[in-house]
Amino acid sequence: MPDQELLSTEPATGAVLWRHPIGDADTEVAIARASWAAWAARPLAVRIEALRRFANVVRQRADAFTDLLARETGKPLWEARTEVETVIAKVDISVTSYSERTGQRRIEAPMNTRLALRHKPHGVLAVLGPYNFPAHLPNGHIVPALLAGNAVVFKPSEKTPASGAFLVECFHAAGIPEGCIRLLIGGPDQGKALASHPDIDGLLFTGSANTGIALNRQFAARPEKILALEMGGNNPILVWNTPDLYSAAVLVVQSAFTTAGQRCTAARRLIVDEKLFEPLMAELNKLIGRLIIGEPHADPQPFMGPVIDNNTADMLTESFLTLSTMGGRPLRHMERLIENRPFLTPGVVDMTEAREKVDVELFGPILQVFRKTSFEDAIAEANDTRYGLSASLVSQDPRLYDQFWANIRAGIVNWNKPTNGASSAAPFGGVGWSGNHRPSAYYAADYCAYPVVSSESEQARAAMGVGLRDA
């Protein structure tokens, strides 16, 4: 039956790329539940070696993985290749992180007693992955979870299931027990069934704020389950007191339009000194006009491909029109390049004089511009959001950066760098609607195992000197 099968199509062409029967959450969780204890009982060195074999498998299959990621997401080959490289690099980063963040320690204690700090896995962890980085982002949960001794049930986005399936195949090919990394194919119903399953011990989520907030409410009554949320951002990039406006424009374009704007760290808002507005817009317009937008395998390689599907493209074009009806002044109109295909040109709109503003994550190549006359007002504008993931300042003045760093509300604060491109060797996360204070990347080890403190002595020696009657 068609409704029992999930199809994946290529955004650039509309061709069917992959199909697979829809899975069952109960079945996958039961298999993981039966398998995790044996995996957790293996020595850490064995788990490390298995995950290093996984990295080697991905390395051997890198070309096929790159091609699949590019076809299924629409991102250019150069970007898909970078994603595969981050999957490989995640293993060594996670091994170092596990040792540093959750390693065993001895703590000073009174004579004849020792205090030991160790960590235990939670058990079965569910991972819900997004479509923009369908390998890298779920892998950032899965590798540290397996390293800590958990079993994982992974449900990829229904928009990129083939990439998720390829990732799981690499784990199995490396000798990770099949029961310890399970693949659940399906749509929202399967995701809800997995998230609400009584036999999972936690959920690691990357996706929209609305879904994350719903999960937060759902888990509020289940404090025994770990919940890690990464929910995106409405990120600002400020341009202030800088003579090199070409470089500033490059940083803005890289921040706002890499991956067709489909990054949680993408710049959604450009906040610029009123005095720099006209010359910066001139540079920005020239640069946007030179961007190659095309299918993943095009030659020369495009800067950006399509957004994920036609529904998303329709939503984004409607959102751009809505910003205009709210009083925004289009500086560069968003255009649909190919009828019935989700290729969009970047849209830029000046919202300085708009009657109202919307604090939403428009997940695509839309940039809102705000002109300000004081740096204090610029910071206030940057902080005028429920989100708090990433923020960047483009300026030649280190004093402004000190002020910016001290006052901006974000988990990633950059200077003369894009808002995106975060390192896996550092913690990744934000505040507000961007997460629930469980940063991922290097700090993923923190939510994949829990600390156990033991007071230990080899002999039972005890005495009571207070509160007893004479014998």
Active site residues: 230, 264
CB neighbours of 146 closer than 8 A, spacing ≥ 6? 39, 47, 50, 51, 152, 171, 176, 180, 181
122/144 Cα distance (integer angstroms): 12
N- to C-terminal Cα separation, the chain: 82
Alpha carbon 397 to its chain centroid, in Å, reads 31
- In degrees and rounded to multiples of 5, residue 42 shows phi and psi of -70, 150
| Angle, helix 77-102 to helix 136-148, in steps of 10 degrees | 30
The secondary structure element, H or E, covering residue 106 is strand 105-107
Q: CA-based Rg of the chain, rounded to a whole angstrom?
A: 24
Cα 107 to Cα 227, 445, 454: the distances in Å are 29, 21, 10
- In degrees and rounded to multiples of 5, residue 299 shows phi and psi of -130, 120
CB neighbours of 339 closer than 8 A, spacing ≥ 6? none
* C-beta of residue 390 within 8 angstroms of C-beta of residue 410: yes
SS3 assignment, position 264? coil
Q: How many CB atoms lie within 10 A of CB 37?
A: 12
SS3 assignment, position 238? strand
* C-beta of residue 412 within 8 angstroms of C-beta of residue 390: yes
372 beta partners: 273
Cα 203 to Cα 23, 186, 196, 212: the distances in Å are 18, 17, 9, 11
Instruction: Give the angle subtended at the CA of 50 by the CAs of 33 and 146, to the nearest 5°.
Output: 40
